[in-house]
């Protein structure tokens, strides 16, 4: 008898796919035709499978909301970028890059400012709240903000990203103690085999909530965004844009730019603006190389 089911791929290792269906976790191979069509399944994919004599087979991949190449994951609802202002301090560039990567695929960004027991990182929180991000202050030490984070990610497939040592594993353990992930020194963790492989794994937190722990997002270069689309990711600049002298002002070298004026007056963060200029130039370079 052949049984048909639908489920989500939560792990893929050398051609085997672990598919979580409402009933069970089924290890599957994929129909050869999928690979031939250049349509290999990704972790995060919703798939139709058949099970015959205990053997699972991925028959079809349901349409994807989005997909990322590195890390290889599909159907991401939100990127949770972790930052801390202490030991190790997060380079804010990383947040802005992740935001661009997310914006490119229309994925929500949640900024999780961790280790707030040691440093509440008030500047970071202010800048990114002002920029329209959902910001949550957490502490794996005191448990602060953990419930709030859980409320934000409930029912979603989210990817945790952020620099090593910022507390991603510690917070994951708070969200789901059964995971019992190793935390601590990077070298120790690598020694224990985490993140030494390239595959992405989803942690099932129940109630259709999945977390992919994928520091790799931070290593990505800028996506091939159009400069126009990149600009739109800076929501806080929209309020000033109408006041710029030129329509479609890029807020870089144009005279009478209201955004630059607001930076001068301290209404907008100078650091974030400086990162904007640098990233904007990167985006323009990339766009030109591709289309000129
Ligand atoms: P990851 O590399 O991002 O997964 O970071 P880990 O979860 O392994 O945490 C790195 C170190 O920071 C560990 O020694 C944790 O105990 C510590 N840590 C993580 N979160 C917090 C926190 O909120 N407060 C404090 N004080 N320490 C934390
Ligand atoms: Zn301007």
pLDDT in tens, 154-205: 999 999 999 889 999 999 999 999 999 888 865 455 544 444 446 788 999 9
* Residue indicated by tokens 């005191």: 142
Q: What is the pLDDT of residue 219?
A: 61
Q: What is the pLDDT of residue 193?
A: 44
259 alpha carbon – ligand 2 mean position (Å): 5
Residues of the chain with pLDDT under 50: 187, 191-197
Give the residue whose CA is nearest to atom 17 of ligand 1: 167
Instruction: Tokens for 232, please give them.
Output: 């739109």
Q: What is the pLDDT of residue 71?
A: 83
Q: Which of 82, 98, 80, 83 is nearest to 152 (CA)?
A: 80
Q: Phi and psi at residue 153, in whole multiples of 5°?
A: -100, -5
> What region does 197 belong to: left with phi over 0, alpha with psi -120 to 50, or beta?
beta
Select from 88, 94, 167, 184 the residue to mutate for testing ligand 1; criterion: most ligand atoms less than 8 Å from CB.
167
Instruction: Tokens for 114, please give them.
Output: 């961790």
Element containing residue 236 per DSSP (H, E): helix 235-241
- 47 close to 18: Cβ distance less than 8 angstroms: no
DSSP state of 52: E
DSSP state of 89: P
Q: What is the pLDDT of residue 191?
A: 43
277 alpha carbon – ligand 2 mean position (Å): 12
Give the residue whose CA is nearest to atom 13 of ligand 1: 184
C-alpha distance from residue 11 to each of 42, 43, 119, 217 (Å): 8, 6, 36, 18
Instruction: Tokens for 16, please give them.
Output: 């085997």
Task: Say if residue 71 is preceded by a cis peptide, omega within 30 of 0.
Answer: yes
> Ligand 1: residues within 6 Å at CB?
114-115, 117-118, 139-141, 164-170, 183-184
Q: What is the pLDDT of residue 248?
A: 92
Question: Pairing relation of β-strands 78-83 and 73-74?
Answer: unpaired
Q: What is the pTM of this model?
A: 0.90
- Looking at beta carbons, which pairs linking 165-168 to residues 24 or more positions away fall under 8 Å? 165/87, 165/88, 166/82, 166/83, 166/84, 166/88, 166/90, 166/114, 166/115, 167/82, 167/84, 167/114, 167/115, 167/138, 167/140, 168/82, 168/213, 168/215
Ligand nearest to the CA of 242: 2
C-alpha distance from residue 2 to each of 5, 54, 55 (Å): 10, 10, 10
* Residue indicated by tokens 């509440």: 120
237 alpha carbon – ligand 2 mean position (Å): 8
């Amino acid at each position: 008898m052949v049984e048909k089911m639908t489920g989500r791929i939560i792990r893929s290792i050398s051609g085997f796919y672990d598919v979580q269906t409402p009933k069970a976790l089924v290890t599957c191979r994929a129909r050869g035709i999928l690979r031939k069509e250049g349509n290999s399944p990704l972790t995060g994919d919703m798939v139709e499978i058949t099970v015959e004599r205990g053997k699972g087979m991925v028959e079809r991949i349901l349409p994807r909301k989005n997909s990322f190449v590195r890390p290889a994951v599909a159907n991401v609802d939100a990127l949770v970028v972790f930052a801390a202002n202490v030991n190790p301090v997060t380079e804010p560039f990383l947040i802005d890059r992740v935001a661009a990567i997310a914006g490119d695929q229309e994925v929500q960004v949640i900024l999780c400012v961790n280790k707030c027991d040691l440093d509440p990182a008030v500047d970071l929180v202010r800048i990114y709240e002002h920029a329209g991000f959902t910001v949550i202050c957490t502490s794996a030490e005191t448990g602060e903000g953990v419930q709030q984070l859980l409320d934000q990610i409930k029912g979603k497939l989210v990817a945790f990203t952020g620099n090593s040592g910022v507390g991603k594993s510690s917070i994951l353990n708070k969200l789901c103690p059964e995971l019992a992930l190793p935390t601590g020194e990077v070298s120790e963790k690598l020694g224990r085999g985490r993140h030494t492989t390239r595959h992405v794994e989803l942690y099932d937190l129940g109630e259709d909530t999945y977390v992919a722990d994928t520091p790799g997002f931070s290593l990505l270069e800028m996506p091939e965004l159009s400069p126009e689309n990149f600009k739109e990711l800076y929501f806080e600049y929209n309020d000033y844009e109408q006041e710029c002298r030129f329509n479609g002002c890029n807020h870089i070298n144009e005279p009478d730019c209201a955004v630059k004026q607001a930076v001068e007056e301290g209404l907008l963060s100078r650091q974030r603006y400086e990162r904007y200029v640098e990233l904007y130039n990167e985006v323009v370079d990339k766009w030109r190389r591709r289309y000129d």
